[in-house]
C-alpha cells in the first residue's frame, strides 16, 4: 500500500489532467460573450453577428454579441484580455486593435500577442479609398495632386485613432507625398455618415461599410488597396494600377480568447469556426460583402498577428504618430 502522502501527491499531480478533460467535455456549459470593440453597424459588427448566429447551434449555447466601443478597439479588447481564461469571453480583434495599438503609446493597455490566445483568422479585406463628390478629382492621380495643393486641409476619417483605417491614411501620406488631416470617429459607420454628408472629404473604408452608400453619386471610389481588383468592385483600379506601385493594405479580423484559455477549448472553438467559415451560406455572404474568407490554425494565426504587428510598428515609427 502506498503511503498517504505519496497517494495525495499523485492525485494532486493528476488534477490538471482530470480538470482539462472534464473542461473539454463540459465546454461550453453556459452562454459565450463575443465582444465587438466597435459600435453596431460597422464591418466588425456585421462579421461577428453572422459568426455568432452560426456558432450558437454548433456549440449548443447562445453566443451573445456585446458592443464595447472606444479608443479604436482598445477598450473592448482590454476587457477580454482581463477576462477569465475559460472560453466564455471572446473578442473579434482587428488590425488596429491587435497589430497597431501597442505601438502608439509607451504604456499599452495590453500586449496583443502575449495577452491573448489566437483562435482563428476569420477574414481579410482590401480597403477602398472613397471621396466626397465635392472633391475635384475623378481618379487617384487627380486626388493626390489636389491633396498636395491643399496640404494640411484635406480631411480623412477613420474608425478611431490607431485603427487600420487611420494608419492606411498615414501610409498613403508617406507613399503619395501628401499631408492630410486625420479625423477619428468611434466607428466606421459614423465616419461614413460624415463622409457622405460632406463633413470630411475622404476615407479608407471596408467594403461592407461602403456597400449601402454605393450608387446615386454619393461617393467617388478611386482605388482599392489590394494587389488585385475586388470582385465586388471590378471597375475600381488598384492603387498600383492608379499610380502608387507596391501600395498594398489588407484589413483583417480574427477571433481571440484571453491568454491562458485551455488549449482544448481553443481547439474546439477553432474547429467550430472552421466549420462555419466552410458553410456556403456563410462564405458566400462574406464574399458578397467584399471579404476574403481566411481560417487556419491557432498557431498560424499567432504567427500572422506577430508579423502584422512588426509591419505596422514600422509604419507607426516612420509616420511618428502617437496617441499619448
pLDDT in tens, 131-140: 999 999 999 9
Q: What are phi and psi of 92, to 5 degrees?
A: -90, 105
Position 11 scores a pLDDT of 46
SS3 string of the chain? CCCHHHHHHHHHHHHHHHHHHHHHHHCCCCCEEEEECCCCCCHHHHHHHHHHHHHHHHHCCCEEEEECCCHHHHHHHHHHHCCCCCCCEEEEEEHHHHHHHHHCCCCCCCCCCCCEEEEEEEEEEECEEEECCCCCCCCHHHHHHHHHHCCCCCEEEECCCCCHHHHHHHHHHHHHCCCCEEEECCCHHHHHHHHHHCCCCEEEECHHHHHHHCCCCCCEEEEECCCCCCCCCCCCCEHHHHCCCCCCCEEEEEEEEECCCCHHHHHHHHHHHHHHHCCHHHHHHHHHCCCEECCCCHHHHHHHHHHHHHHHHHHHHHHCCCCC
Percent of the chain predicted with pLDDT > 70: 92
Does residue 1 carry a pLDDT above 60? no
The reply to whether CATH 3.30.70.3040 applies to domain 128-242 is no
Position 279 scores a pLDDT of 97
Between 92 and 16, whose confidence is greater?
A: 92
Assign domain 29-124+250-319 to a CATH class: alpha beta
Question: pLDDT tens digits for 199-241?
Answer: 999 999 988 788 888 888 999 999 999 999 998 899 999 999 9
Question: pLDDT tens digits for 187-200?
Answer: 888 999 999 999 99
pTM of structure = 0.81
Does residue 17 carry a pLDDT above 50? no
Domains 29-124+250-319 and 128-242 share a fold: yes
Give the start-to-end residue ranges of the domains of the chain: 29-124+250-319, 128-242
Does residue 292 carry a pLDDT above 80? yes
Position 324 scores a pLDDT of 64
Between 159 and 273, whose confidence is greater?
A: 273
- Over residues 272-295, mean pLDDT: 94
Average pLDDT score over the chain: 90
Percent of the chain predicted with pLDDT > 90: 73
Position 323 scores a pLDDT of 64
Position 153 scores a pLDDT of 97
Amino acid at each position: 500500500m502506498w503511503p498517504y502522502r505519496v497517494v495525495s501527491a499523485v492525485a494532486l499531480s493528476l488534477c490538471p489532467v482530470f480538470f482539462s478533460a472534464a473542461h473539454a467535455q463540459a465546454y461550453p456549459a453556459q452562454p459565450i460573450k463575443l465582444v465587438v470593440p466597435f459600435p453596431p453597424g460597422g464591418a466588425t459588427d456585421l462579421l461577428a453577428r453572422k459568426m455568432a448566429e452560426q456558432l450558437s447551434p454548433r456549440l449548443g449555447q447562445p453566443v451573445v454579441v456585446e458592443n464595447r466601443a472606444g479608443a479604436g478597439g482598445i477598450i473592448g479588447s482590454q476587457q477580454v484580455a482581463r477576462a477569465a481564461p475559460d472560453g466564455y469571453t471572446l473578442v473579434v480583434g482587428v488590425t488596429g486593435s491587435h497589430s497597431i495599438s501597442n505601438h502608439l503609446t509607451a504604456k499599452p493597455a495590453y500586449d496583443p500577442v502575449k495577452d491573448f490566445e489566437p483562435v482563428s483568422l476569420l477574414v481579410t479585406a482590401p480597403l477602398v479609398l472613397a471621396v466626397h463628390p465635392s472633391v475635384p478629382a475623378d481618379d487617384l492621380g487627380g486626388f493626390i495632386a489636389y491633396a498636395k495643393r491643399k496640404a494640411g486641409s484635406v480631411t480623412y476619417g477613420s474608425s478611431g485613432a490607431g485603427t487600420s483605417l487611420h494608419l492606411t491614411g498615414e501610409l498613403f501620406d508617406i507613399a503619395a507625398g501628401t499631408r492630410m488631416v486625420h479625423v477619428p470617429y468611434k466607428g466606421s459607420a459614423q465616419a461614413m455618415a460624415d463622409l457622405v454628408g460632406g463633413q470630411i472629404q475622404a476615407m479608407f473604408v471596408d467594403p461592407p461599410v461602403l456597400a449601402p452608400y454605393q450608387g446615386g453619386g454619393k461617393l467617388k471610389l478611386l482605388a482599392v488597396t489590394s494587389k488585385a481588383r475586388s470582385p465586388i468592385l471590378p471597375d475600381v483600379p488598384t492603387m498600383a494600377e492608379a499610380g502608387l506601385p507596391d501600395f498594398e493594405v489588407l484589413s483583417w479580423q480574427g477571433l481571440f480568447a484571453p491568454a491562458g484559455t485551455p488549449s482544448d477549448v481553443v481547439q474546439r472553438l477553432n474547429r467550430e469556426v472552421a466549420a462555419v467559415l466552410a458553410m456556403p451560406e456563410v462564405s458566400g455572404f462574406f464574399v458578397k460583402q467584399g471579404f476574403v474568407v481566411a481560417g487556419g490554425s491557432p498557431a498560424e494565426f499567432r504567427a500572422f498577428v506577430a508579423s502584422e504587428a512588426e509591419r505596422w510598428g514600422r509604419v507607426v515609427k516612420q509616420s511618428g504618430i502617437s496617441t499619448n
